[in-house]
Amino acid sequence: MQPNEWLSRSYSDLLEELKEFLRFSSVSAQPQYKSELYATAQWLKGYLEKLGFVVQLIGEPPVVHGYYESSGEAPTVLFYGHYDVQPPEPLELWVSPPFSPRIADDSIYARGACDDKGQVFIHLAAWKYFVEAYGKLPVSIHVVIEGQEETGSETLYQVLAAHGMQWRSDVVVVSDTGFFSEDIPTLTIGLRGIVYGEIVVQGPSRDLHSGSFGGVAPNPAFGLSSILAALKGPDQRVCIPGFYERVRPISSAERQLWRSLPADEAHYIRLMGAPAVVGEVGFSPLERIGSRPSLDINGMYSGYTGEGSKTIIPAQAVAKVSMRLVPDQDPTEIWQLFKSYVESVTPPGFSVEVRLLHDPAPAFETPTESPYYQAAEKAIQEAFGKRPVPIREGGSIPVLSALQKSIGGAPVILMGFGLPTDAVHSPNEHFRLSQLRKGIHAAIRFYEQAALVRSSSAF
Ligand code: BES
Ligand code: ZN
């Protein structure tokens, strides 16, 4: 049976199953959702077992591992995804509740609809197709779906150290990235790394009356502001000495390729809903996102932020700061440079603590020469009608480098189907149903094509 025929028949059942998956509030950042994470992992286990996988839940929150052994010479594909989601707040901005999936405008709305449950579901559905159409899968599969991607993958790092070698595979496939736009299918060939830390500036030992002490007390909100202001210059470049030292120049082939995409400033202004694009002079927006490092403040707080006024000089000010890294920056070195620079620009009158919030992760790149990359190209071409453009994305999947290493170094294929308008990490996250449907078609074709690559000639 052809994928499209099966999809037409199975579509409404598949949507119901996806809704079940999306109803779990599997938020990894907040401790009160622990049992929901476990329930989501159980649901995945049940789904995979019905397809014939041997499944175990490992660690806390569980890493779901499933194995399906196909016959003979077939290569082994490792699928990686995550079932945890970002916190849904601010709730009042959602048109419908984040864990009550709703279908409207050819999209399914829910937290995790795109990142990453909807995209994990694409593969569950593709495997279901093979089981229903042929009674078996064309390749052997290790499936690894974790519940902590959005918070640093702590459990998976441990699980990989213990089990990674038993999960050796010929190729890794991940659907946790996106297309450039709906009519420009994309294969991601690079992701940025990330270093994420917190700056805590301490002034007085407690909040003080701002009348009695204003004029003599060192105000940590000002202390923090001057530190933050020293991080970037008016030219938008990061001022940390050595920050750009190892950054690999952009090749002329890449510059050429990306010039052909309709990625001008107006495109990003529309996507962001902001009045202007900012960034380093001399680089296009696409280059700034994919090939240049960046530094951002992800949150900051100090003093009284409730309603009305309170006349205090705060004791503390905190900022959460992350840096997105590109090849060949070294994340540990960047952290050290950041830490010493922040300490050196802290004004007198304050003490500063700079602490790491996640394991630093390097940028990640995928080869385009492997036969599995060609398999993905063919699959996308067939399902979406156009040859995919290789692109570097600015987001991170920090655990990928460790995952790749621990399973034997196989090439990774980043075959994601999200759209830049899907509102991932934002209120009203959604996933376009046409992307879901064509994504399932593409995934089916990918596994079929992968089956034709002899496992010995893989890499
Ligand atoms: N799906 C994203 C990664 C992503 C985002 C890829 C945008 C391509 C474009 C993933 O779930 C994610 O959000 N990762 C985090 C990692 C962080 C929490 C350490 C990220 O990039 O912020
Ligand atoms: Zn995410």
Q: What is the pLDDT of residues 400-441, one digit of tens each?
A: 999 999 999 999 999 999 999 999 999 999 999 999 999 999
Strand ranges for 369-429 from DSSP E: 389-392, 412-414
Residue nearest to atom 17 of ligand 1 (CA): 150
CA–centroid distance, 394 to ligand 1, in Å, is 8
Question: How far, CA to CA in Å, does 188 sit from each of 65, 84, 387, 388?
Answer: 25, 22, 13, 9
CA–centroid distance, 179 to ligand 2, in Å, is 15
Pocket of ligand 1, candidates 83, 119, 176: which has the most ligand atoms within 8 Å of its Cβ, to mutate?
Answer: 176
Pocket of ligand 1, candidates 150, 191, 294, 335: which has the most ligand atoms within 8 Å of its Cβ, to mutate?
Answer: 150
Ligand in nearest proximity to the CA of 191: 1
Ligand 1 lined by 358 (C-beta under 6 Å): yes
Ligand in nearest proximity to the CA of 194: 1
CA–centroid distance, 441 to ligand 2, in Å, is 24
pLDDT for the residue 455: 56
- Residue 74: name the closest of 171, 143, 145 by CA: 171
pLDDT for the residue 342: 98
Q: What are phi and psi of 396, to 5 degrees?
A: -135, 145
CA–centroid distance, 199 to ligand 2, in Å, is 23
CA–centroid distance, 202 to ligand 2, in Å, is 32
Residue nearest to atom 20 of ligand 1 (CA): 396
Atom of ligand 1 nearest to the CA of 188: 8
The count of other CB atoms within 10 Å of the CB of residue 265 is 13
Q: What are phi and psi of 170, to 5 degrees?
A: -90, -25
| Residue 228 parent element (H or E) | helix 220-229
Ligand 1 lined by 190 (C-beta under 6 Å): no
Task: Tell me the β-bridge partners of 351.
Answer: 202
- Decide: 112 and 19 in contact? Cβ < 8 Å: no
Domains of the chain, start order: 3-191+363-451 (3.40.630.10), 202-247+293-356 (3.30.70.360)
Ligand in nearest proximity to the CA of 324: 1
Ligand 1 lined by 84 (C-beta under 6 Å): no
Residue nearest to atom 13 of ligand 1 (CA): 150
Please tell me the distance from the alpha carbon of residue 3 to that of residue 402, in angstroms, as a whole number: 34
Residue nearest to atom 7 of ligand 1 (CA): 395
CA–centroid distance, 175 to ligand 2, in Å, is 12
Ligand 1 lined by 429 (C-beta under 6 Å): no
Please tell me the distance from the alpha carbon of residue 306 to that of residue 450, in angstroms, as a whole number: 56
Ligand 1 lined by 28 (C-beta under 6 Å): no
Residue in this structure with the two tokens 């991607």, named with its chain if needed: 149
Structure-block tokens of residue 268: 């990003």
Model pTM? 0.94
pLDDT for the residue 459: 45
Structure-block tokens of residue 255: 């510059």
Pocket of ligand 1, candidates 27, 294, 397: which has the most ligand atoms within 8 Å of its Cβ, to mutate?
Answer: 397
Q: What single-letter amino acid sits at 459?
A: F
| Residues measured by CB to lie within 5 Å of ligand 2, the ion | 115
CA–centroid distance, 452 to ligand 1, in Å, is 31
Q: Give pLDDT < 70 ranges for the chain.
A: 455-459
Ligand 1 lined by 398 (C-beta under 6 Å): yes
- Residue 391: name the closest of 372, 430, 358, 418 by CA: 418
Ligand 1 lined by 396 (C-beta under 6 Å): yes
State the pairing for strand pair 208-209/312-313: antiparallel
Ligand 1 lined by 377 (C-beta under 6 Å): no
Ligand 1 lined by 393 (C-beta under 6 Å): yes
Atom of ligand 1 nearest to the CA of 151: 18
- Decide: 322 and 155 in contact? Cβ < 8 Å: no
Q: Peptide bond before 106: cis, by omega within 30 degrees of 0?
A: no
